[in-house]
Amino acid sequence: MSNIVVDKSKVPWWVSNVIVPLVNLTLALLVSGLFVFIAGENPIEAVKLIIYGSFGYIQGFAYTLYYTTNFIFTGLAFAVAFHCRLFNIGGEGQAYIGGLGVFLVAINLSFLPVPIVWLLAIFGAFLFGAAWAYIPAYLQSKRGSHVVITTIMFNFIASSLMIFLLVDVIRDTNQMAPHTVKLPEEIWLPSFEAFSGILGIKIRYSPLNLTFLLAIASLFFVWFLVWKTKWGYEMRAVGHNTQAAIYAGISPHKNIIIAMCISGGLAGLLGVNEILGVSHKIQAGFPAGYGFTGIAVALMGRNHPIGILPAAFLFGILYQGGSEVTFEMPNITRYMFVAVQGLIILFSGALENLFRPQIESFFVRRLNREVNA
């Protein structure tokens, strides 16, 4: 067995944070290419289609950014909890309940001035998502029930609860499908079409809307919270070393609750994009797996906003470009792209350290030679 010992302090930041993820990503894509090849299609063509689908025309690009918005929220949600060493895999359920928050606030307060409705709806999304995360957080900190188990159970509970509400309580009674009535049009968030008119481009429809800016703002918010405030400091302290936190008078209980609530709140913001921005009603199952993919986004982005942005964008490209591929290549199904996502998670999450020591020691040696030369 080779035992490569690398002096971590000598490894430049860009090697561990840029080169290593890129190598892992490349490997995942190479293996994916192999799958495409086995399925009887040309991998190069598939890549071309992905690029065309996600960048080639303005509407496609708008879709890419729309997906990116959702991944930023769920990726950040996972990252915040992870800084307190909590594996919040309940983003899916928190997003679902967050959607309920948006809808309830928007429909009941739609008489208020529009920007205020927006703000309150965003607040509602955050609050409902946070509340849904609060229960597992409480159980973890007071009773020691592991947050991984409880959050995943809470995904199922959220799903059942929402189906119940959508069927029996808040369904649009003029029809049979499990969704609510539409929100009044004047409080919809302006979508990209509206702006594109101003820019002189005409597109038919795009789901991209103002929430994208909220996502960008959330990136800043998380960065500031985690690294620039005493709350973030305390959360990280509890996450890294609970014993030491107690010694310093930092309450693990309080910080577990705070971290989980902020995490759940961020996941809840996905509801803003989906409900206030796109469909304008609650549809059964609208979080559609974004909550889970957010885990991969966070892992790939190394739980840092600067990493989460490109990672979310990458998954946006895969989603949008992937649907282009499945449209054009009959042998490639939607599930192939789930597999591609799986490979990315495998290589950048589970096998994260597969090549790290080799790559790092390679660069350390290289750089050292330059210094000595």
Partner 1 sequence: MVSPILELTDINKSFGHVQANKNINLKINKGTIHGIIGENGAGKSTLMSIVFGLYQANSGSIKINGKEINLSSPRDSIINGIGMVHQHFMLVENFTVLENIILGFEGETVFGEKLQKAKEDLEKLCKTYNFNIDLDATISDLSVGFRQRVEILKSLYRGAEILILDEPTGVLTPQEVDELFKILRSLKDEGKTIVLITHKLIEIMDLTCEVSVMRQGEMVGHTKTEDTSKEQLAEMMVGRSVLLRVDKKEIKKGETIFKVNNLSVKDDLDVTRVKDVNLEICSGEILGIAGVTGNGQTELLEALSGIRKVESGSIELFGEKISDQNNFLNPRMLKEKGLAHVPEDRQRMGLISDFKAHENLIFGYHDQEPYSKSAILNNKEITEYSNKVMQEYDVRPNSPNLITSNFSGGNQQKIILSRELNENPKVLLVGQPTRGVDIGAIEFIHQRLIDMRDKGAAILLASVELDEILSLSDRIIVMFDGKIVGEKENKNVTDRELGLLMAGVA
Query: Which residues of the shown chain bind partner 1 in the complex (CB under 8 A)?
Result: 5-10, 228-231, 233-234, 236-237, 240-241, 243-244, 246-251, 361, 364, 368
Dihedral sign for Cα atoms in the order 162, 70, 280, 130: positive
Name 180's bridge partners. none
What is the smallest separation between the CB atom of 175 and partner 1, expressed in angstroms? Answer: 49
What is the smallest separation between the CB atom of 279 and partner 1, expressed in angstroms? Answer: 37
What is the smallest separation between the CB atom of 247 and partner 1, expressed in angstroms? Answer: 5
Name the helix (H) or strand (E) containing 242. Answer: helix 242-247
Phi, psi of 228 (to 5 degrees): -120, -5
Nearer to partner 1, 120 or 245 (CB): 245
Nearer to partner 1, 182 or 240 (CB): 240
Between the CA of residue 357 and those of 122, 354, 361, what are the distances in Å? 43, 8, 6
**CA 50, 297, 214 angle in degrees (round to 5)?**
95
What is the smallest separation between the CB atom of 73 and partner 1, expressed in angstroms? Answer: 24
Nearer to partner 1, 152 or 299 (CB): 299
What is the smallest separation between the CB atom of 250 and partner 1, expressed in angstroms? Answer: 8
Please state, in angstroms and rounded to a whole number, the distance separating the CA atoms of residues 285 and 308: 24
Phi, psi of 282 (to 5 degrees): -90, 125
What string of DSSP letters covers 200-225? Answer: T---S----BTHHHHHHHHHHHHHHH
Contact 179, 284 (CB under 8 A): yes
Phi, psi of 37 (to 5 degrees): -60, -45
Nearer to partner 1, 83 or 171 (CB): 83
Nearer to partner 1, 182 or 253 (CB): 253
What is the smallest separation between the CB atom of 83 and partner 1, expressed in angstroms? Answer: 11
Please state, in angstroms and rounded to a whole number, the distance separating the CA atoms of residues 121 and 210: 14
What string of DSSP letters covers 85-104? Answer: T-----HHHHHHHHHHHHHH
Nearer to partner 1, 202 or 230 (CB): 230
Nearer to partner 1, 182 or 365 (CB): 365
What is the smallest separation between the CB atom of 235 and partner 1, expressed in angstroms? Answer: 12
